[in-house]
Structure 1
Amino acid sequence: MRTYDLTPFYRSTVGFDRLFNLLDQTTSDGSPGYPPYNIERTGENSYRITVAVSGFSKDELSIVAKENTLTIKGEKVANENSKSEVLYRGIAARAFERAFQLADFVQVKDASLENGLLHVDLVREIPEAKKPRQIAINASAQATQVIEGEKAAA
């Protein structure tokens, strides 16, 4: 894999730190494949992130939305009271952290855990001030009168 050094751009630009951080994150191989997830579009302005978190309870998961980043963390609590001895551990119970970059005006609407799947519903709510608006075109009656008046005087 190729590696790119973005250091010269950091020195010569102002305000593009977030962009370069995103580029660094996408080119790195440090993002694990656990747990698997889906991103679905459920409507014109609504989305759903589904993360496979089998074996985790609601208390062992946390969802944090900060600025334009959604972070889902899972940490298994060790069960000290169990009297049995595990001979083979094939079910993954490792801690994880999965971060998603959200677009502007995307908010977390709801989160639910069912059948080992964590569903996080998102909605894009654009403020009225940012929505496009239709501008009416007014025809000026004075401009046509002046032109007609000039024709009569000539």
Structure 2
Amino acid sequence: MNKVKVVISNRQNEVKIPTGIRLLVRRCCNAALKEEQFTEDAEIAVSFVDNKEIQELNAKYRSKDMPTDVLSFPLGENGKYDRNEETGALLLGDIVISLPKAVEQADFYGHSLQREIGFLTVHSMFHLLGYDHENGGVEAVRMREKEETVLTMLGIPRGASYVLENE
């Protein structure tokens, strides 16, 4: 199995990060790479932010002046990625998740925060791997199918709650 380094940072203080979330994020990143049969060592950065910060990023990079749930910043194009000179790992990119927005959406959809963060992480991983759903069509359907495959593999399919017992 390839080595996957997931660097997680918390840049918000609005929502306490529940036990097991960091492990869940790492499992989601690994599972998405496994689904894609990604064989190289990889590095991904995941940041938890508040609505204010994600709105600023959304306005700056997508010209949408509103908070969103997750943003993906791929460092590769057409399967070509920069390489960490020290480790040799491919730098896939950054995932930025608004924890307050994730809490809001989990409540709205009636599932756990863990399920929401799992979905947002997997969704964003497929963006880092080159998938895009913005234009709809077959690409969007294929991306959604892959997301659900990975979430089911992790035991958190659509409509399911995911609660980690003792770690």
- The structure where strand makes up a greater share of residues is 1
TM-score when normalising by structure 2 = 0.24
Q: Radius of gyration: which is bigger?
A: 1
TM-score normalised to structure 1 length: 0.25
